[in-house]
Chains A and B, each alone.
Chain A
Amino acid sequence: MSSVSTGKLSKDDLSKSTLSKNSLSKSSASTSVASTSAISMSGTRAADAAPDCAVAERLHAMDHLRALAMLAGVLFHAALAHSVLMQPFWPTATGAASWTVDALVWLSHLVRMPLFFLVAGFFAAMLLQRRGMGGLMRQRLRRVLLPLLVAWPLVTLASIAAFDWALAHVQASNGVLTALRAAQAGAGADAPPLPLSTGHLWFLYYLLLFAVLLWIGRVLEAGRWLQAVFARGPWVVALGLPLLLAGPFALTSAPHPAPESLLPALWAIGLYGSFFALGVGLYGRLDWLAPLQRAWWPGVIVVLALQAVFVWRLQAGPVERLWPHAAWPTALLEAAIAAWGTLLCLLAGLRWLARPSAALRYLAGSAYTVYLLHLPLLFALQFALMDTGLSGATFFALSVAGTLAGCLLVYELAVRRTALRRWVG
C-alpha cells in the first residue's frame, strides 16, 4: 500500500506535490499542471495560508483516511459475526444477527476498500514523481511484497491455531464450525483441499498488481486518457463512475467477496483499479474536487437511500446473493454506492481530517501492522467469547477492543521503535 509508504511527508515533498503534473504521463508536455490550492476544500480562500501548508493539510487528510479505512476493516470483520447474510459462512457467526448490522457492514464494504485503493493510487503517484518508477517498484518490494511473504504464512498458521482451538473447546456452533467438525470426523474426507488463498492480505497482492499496471499505464502513456477524463470535470466523473463500475460488480456476486485467489480477478481489477487510477489522477490536484463539496449532504442522503434499496434487494431472496453474478440492477446499485460513498468519504476527509492530529497520526503509523495481524487475533477472541452468552453489542465491543489492544501492543513492542518500522510501520 502506498500509503503504507507514507510514513513521513517532509515539507519539501509537500511543496513538490504542488507542482506535480499527472504522474502517469511520461510526457513533459503534460497539460495537467496541478492547481496550487487556490480554493481549499472547505471553500475558503487559501491565500491566507502558505501554499505548502494547504497541501500539507491535504496530505494529512489522505494519510488519516488511509488509516481509518484500514481500521474500519477491523470493525467490518468483527461485525460479520452478527451479519444475517454471513451466518452460514463466517467462522465466528454467533446466531445473534440483525439486518441493521448488514446494512452498516455492506455499506462499509462498498466504500472502505475503494477508498483505500484511491488513497493508495494517490500516494503511488506521489512516489512515482518523487522517486521514479524504479524507486516505486523498490518501495513496493520492501513495503508490500516482503510483508506479504512474511505475514502470509504467519497469519495462516495463527488462524489455523485459532480454528483448532475452537474445534476443541467451543461448544457453540455455526455453519462453518459444523462443517469443519464434520470434515474432522471424516465425513468430508473426499472433499478436495481448499485452494491457496491470500486471505485478508489480498489487498497487498492487488497493490503489487496495480504497481505493475501503473508501470504499464506509464509506458503506454495512459496518462493522456486520464487527462481527458479529468478534463471533463468532477461532475461528469462522479456521475459516470458508477457506469464504469457496474461491469465489475456484475462479474461477481452481491455482496462482492474478497478477491483472495492467487489468480487476478478481473472484477477486482476493474473495481479497485478504477479507484486506484482515480487516486493517481487526483495527485497534485485535489482542488479539482472542490465543486463536489457543496453536494456533500445531499450525496449522503442519496447514498443512504441507495443502501436501503440494496439491503432490501439482499433481503428479497437467496438467489440474488448466492448466484455467481449479481443482476445488472443490483450491480449498478452497488456501483453507485461505492462510487459516491467513496467520493463522499474523500470529501469528508479533506474537509475534516486535514489538520494534524496526534491520535490520527499514531493510528496512521500503526494501521498497517494492525491490519496485517488483526484477523487471527479477532477470530481467537471471538471464538473464546462464543460460549459466554454475551449480548451482541458486548461481544462486538470486547472483540474489537481486545483485537485493537493486542495489535497495538505488538506495534508498540515490536514495530514502532524497531527496525521493523521500515517495513510495516
Chain B
Amino acid sequence: MSHAAPASATAPAALPAVQWDIVRALIVKDWQLFEKPLAAYVLAGIVALGLIGLARPWSFYAGALLLIILLVAVACMSISNALLTERKEQTLAFVMSLPVSPLDFTLAKLGGNAFTFLVPFLVLLAGTVGVTLTTPVPDGFVVFATLVYGHVLLAFSLSLAVAMSVRSEGWNVFVMIATQVLVNPFLMLLGQIASIRDVGRGEAIVWSGEALLILGLQVGLSALAIAFTGWWHGRKAAFE
C-alpha cells in the first residue's frame, strides 16, 4: 500500500493505482457511521409507502410528502455526515496519516455517498413506480414522478461535487438547500409542458421528446458532476 505523498507534491500525469481494499474499508466506515440514520429513513420510507397503500386521499398525500422529505433528507444527511462533519471533526487529518492516497479517498467518498444515497433513492423510486402502477393513480404519472426523482438525483450530485471541492460549510449548506428547493419551480415547469402534464393524467406511459431530454440532462449532468469531481480530486498527488 502506498502512503500519501507530501503535501507539496504536484499533480502527476497519470492517475495512481487504486487500493480497492482501502476504498472498501473507507466506504464501510462511512456506512457504519450512517447506518443509524439510514435505518430510520428506511423505516420512515416503509411507513410512507404504507400510508400511500391505505388508498385514502389524505394518506396518499401524507405518504407522498413524506417520501419527498425523506429523499431530500437522505441526500443532505449523506453528504453532511460523510464530508462536512468529517472536516469539522478533523477526521481528514487522521485519514491523511493512514496509507491512503487522494484517489482512494476520493473514490471512497464518491462511492460511499453514492451507495448511501442510491440505496434508499432506488428503493423509493421503485416504490413510487410500484404505487403508481398498482393503484388507481394514472400510470402516466410515472413519467412525472421519474422526472422529479431525476431532479433530486441531480441536486444530490451537484451538492456532492461542491462538498468535495468547497470547504466552506456555509456554501455547502446553501448549495444543498438551493438545489433541493429548486424542485418547486421544476414542478411548475413540468406543469407547463403539455406533453408531460397531459401524459400524467392518462393511463399510457409515454416518454415524449421533452421528457426524455429533461431526464437525459438530469442523468447526464449528474454523471458529469460526479465524474469530473472524481477526476479532479483523484489526479492530485496529495491532500489539500
Chain A interface residues (CB < 8 Å from chain B): 192, 195-196, 209, 212-213, 215-216, 219-220, 251, 261-266, 269
A219 in contact with B36 (CB, 8 Å) = yes
User: Assuming the A-B contacts A219-B36, A220-B36, A220-B40, are A263 and B46 also in contact, with contact meaning beta carbons closer than 8 angstroms in the complex?
Assistant: no
Residues of B within 8 A of A261 (CB): 53, 134
Complex partner residue of A216 from B43, B50, B135, CB under 8 angstroms: B43
A68 to B112, CA, bound (A): 45
Additional A-B contact list (17), CB under 8 Å, known A196-B130, A209-B46, A213-B46 = A196-B134, A216-B40, A216-B42, A219-B36, A219-B39, A220-B40, A220-B43, A262-B130, A263-B49, A263-B52, A263-B53, A263-B131, A263-B134, A263-B135, A266-B47, A266-B54, A269-B46
Choose one: A212, A213, A219; the contact of B35 (CB below 8 Å). A219
Chain A to chain B contacts (Cβ below 8 Å), 6 pairs: A196-B130, A219-B35, A263-B49, A263-B130, A264-B50, A266-B54
Q: How far is the CA of A209 from the CA of B49 in the complex (A)?
A: 12
Kindly report which residue of chain B lies nearest to residue A265, judged by CB atoms. B53
What class of interface size applies to chain B in its complex with A? 20 to 34
Which chain A residues lie closer than 8 Å to B49 at the CB level?
263-264
Residues of A with C-beta under 8 A to B225: none
Contact assessment for B39 and A266 in the assembled complex, using a CB-CB cutoff below 8 Å: no
Given contacts A263-B135, A269-B46, contact A215 B53 (CB under 8 A): no
- In the bound assembly, the distance between CA atoms of A213 and B39 in angstroms comes to 9
Do A264 and B42 touch across chains, with their CB atoms under 8 A apart?
no
Interface, chain B (partner A; CB < 8 A)? 35-36, 39-40, 42-43, 46-47, 49-54, 127, 130-131, 133-136
| Closest A residue, CB atoms, query B40 | A220
Are the CB atoms of A264 and B134 closer together than 8 Å?
no
Closest 5 CB pairs of A and B: A263-B53, A266-B50, A219-B39, A195-B134, A216-B39
CA distance A408 to B181 in the complex (A): 59
Chain B min CB distance to A160 (Å): 18
B52 near A213: Cβ-Cβ < 8 Å = no
Question: In the complex, which residues of chain B have a beta carbon less than 8 angstroms from the beta carbon of A269?
Answer: 46, 50
Contacts of B36 in A (CB 8 A): 219-220
| CB-defined contacts of A263 to chain B, threshold 8 Å | 49-50, 52-53, 127, 130-131, 134-135
| Chain A positions within 8 Å of B52 at CB level | 263
CA distance A269 to B131 in the complex (A): 17
Bound-state CA distance A263–B36 (Å) is: 24
Indicate whether A262 sits within 8 Å of B50 (C-beta atoms), given known contacts A212-B42, A216-B43.
Answer: no
Q: CB distance A215 to B47 under 8 Å? A: no
Q: Which residue, of B54, B135, B136, has the highest number of chain A Cβ atoms within 10 A?
A: B54
A264, B54: Cα distance in complex, Å: 9
A262 to B131, CA, bound (A): 8
Given the complex of chains A and B, what is the CA–CA distance between A252 and B134 in angstroms?
18
Chain B positions within 8 Å of A215 at CB level:
39
Q: How far, in angstroms, from A141 to B220 measured CA to CA in the complex?
A: 33
What residues on B are CB-neighbors of A266 within 8 Å?
47, 50-51, 53-54
Q: Are A264 and B40 in contact (CB under 8 A)?
A: no
Which residue on A lies nearest to B43, using beta carbons? A216
With the chains together, A264 CA to B43 CA distance in Å?
Answer: 12
Q: Which residues of A lie under 8 Å from residue B46 when comparing CB positions?
A: 209, 212-213, 264, 269
Q: Cβ of B131: which chain A residues have Cβ within 8 Å of it?
A: 263
Q: Which residues of A contact B127 (CB under 8 A)?
A: 263
Known contacts A216-B39, A219-B35; A265/B50 CB under 8 A: yes
